Amino acid sequence: MSEIKKLFKSQILPQLLDKKIERRIYTEMTKIISTAYSQNIASDESFCFKFSLPLVPVNNFYKTLHLDPKEVDKAIHADWGKTLTKMHSDPYYQILLLFIYYGVTEKKEMFAKNALMILLMKIWNGRKSKFFKYCDKRVMKYVISNELTNRHVLSKYENPVSLLKDYFMPTLLKKYGPEVNRDIIKLKRLFEQSWARIRQLFVFNARTNIQTGKSEAQGGLLPIYMKAKEDGTYLSTKMVRNNMGDDENVTGYEDYASTHNRDNIVSKTTDYIILNKSNKYSQNFVSEVNKKTNVSVKIIEQILDYIHIQRNYDIVENLIVLILSRCNINSKEDICKRNFTNNVRKNVISSKNNTEVNKIQRLLDKMLDTFFKEKLRSNFNKYSNVHKIKIRNVIIYALEHNLVKLNCHNN
């Protein structure tokens, strides 16, 4: 049992099952959200708005539960790893995540929604403060009304409250709630995806400006706003400061889930692979892999069949995330370009001594260890490093094949 779950079952769940304590916490969360709603609706700041979130009531939840924040942090670090960010270690976020877990597992839908809503508002504040330290509401209103396409999520909502409440909250709970229900450690994924998706509203697809040498976003609200500002659409003495320093010192996982587009590609492709157990690979493809790897056709066919087993869902998903990250893929169009195969070969197959590539190798070895034991009654580790690399590449070629097949079939 994970350390977080041990702590939850021993110190948190028994107290939340006390209806008086549960009602007290639920009422306090409702009050925080209600106040935020009223402030936002009464405001004319459009998406320049920043929520006035109280720190004390949320931090007091620890006192209500007679819970030591240090114990929670210790359990989270034990399960999530030692190299966590400042945001992962924030007790404000940690207690809300545990409340989300309680709501999901105990079928207390509104309890989970309230906790997630407060968490999303805090993430919104952090991203807004980072990218729009000074925000001219007249320029922002013009951008929202005139510069965004109908497909942009911001064009469909009037303010941050409706955006978070009606879009992000139900979307995130629907997608990641079942994972969290099965495994409390998946709260980390829910948390990181919440951060990544809100961040993508402001900036995504960052590229280095050759002239300045600085990283600049090609997509998102910030570059559109800045262009409107520079064009003088609305004159103002206030300036927007593009402070690329992170106010929450967040690093690490954003490389793996930086955009909503990439996340959709990962989810759909993983589902496609795992749910299509009878997926057939053409003999041409098998022969091509055989020529590239020199692995026997029989072994290739068995590995290709093994990839589609339900048990491998998490490994396949993580492999696709890492491959897309290594190749800087942010849209289906990137996958469908002619150079995608060369991109995979250069940045995944041929790359060495890279953190992401090392993770890919470990994931592949985990899958292949089990495959050789169960299907071949053999030991993967008996092979030389050169031969191991060739066998690993069979899976990489298969994942590349499925990425193209699913995402480019209409192209």
Helix boundaries (H) for 132-204:
137-142, 160-163, 169-182, 187-202
Residues of the chain with pLDDT > 90, as a percent, come to 49
Query: Which tens digit of pLDDT belongs to each residue from 137-194?
Result: 888 888 888 877 766 788 888 889 999 999 999 999 999 999 999 999 999 999 999 9
Query: Beta-strand (E) ranges in 200-266?
Result: 204-208, 215-219
d(CA 32, CA 114): 9
Only one residue has tokens 């206030």, namely 238
Half-sphere exposure of 83 (CA within 13 A, CB side): 3
Contact between 29 and 118 under an 8 Å Cβ cutoff? The reply is yes
CA nearest to 330, candidates 242, 382, 255: 255
* Average confidence score pLDDT of the chain: 84
Residue with the bigger pLDDT between 358 and 229: it is 358
Decide if pLDDT at 103 tops 90. Answer: yes
What is the separation of C-alpha 160 from the centre of its chain, rounded to a whole number of angstroms?
A: 20
Q: What is the pLDDT of residue 154?
A: 83
What is the rounded distance in angstroms from the CA atom of residue 32 to the CA atom of residue 52?
A: 9
Domain boundaries, the chain: 3-255, 260-407
pLDDT digits (tens, 9 = 90+) for 269-320: 888 888 776 567 899 999 999 999 999 999 999 999 999 988 888 889 889 9
Q: Within a 10 A sphere around the Cβ of 3, how many other Cβ atoms?
A: 18
Phi first, then psi: give them for residue 351, nearest 5 degrees. -75, 145
Residue in this structure with the two tokens 């508002």, named with its chain if needed: 121
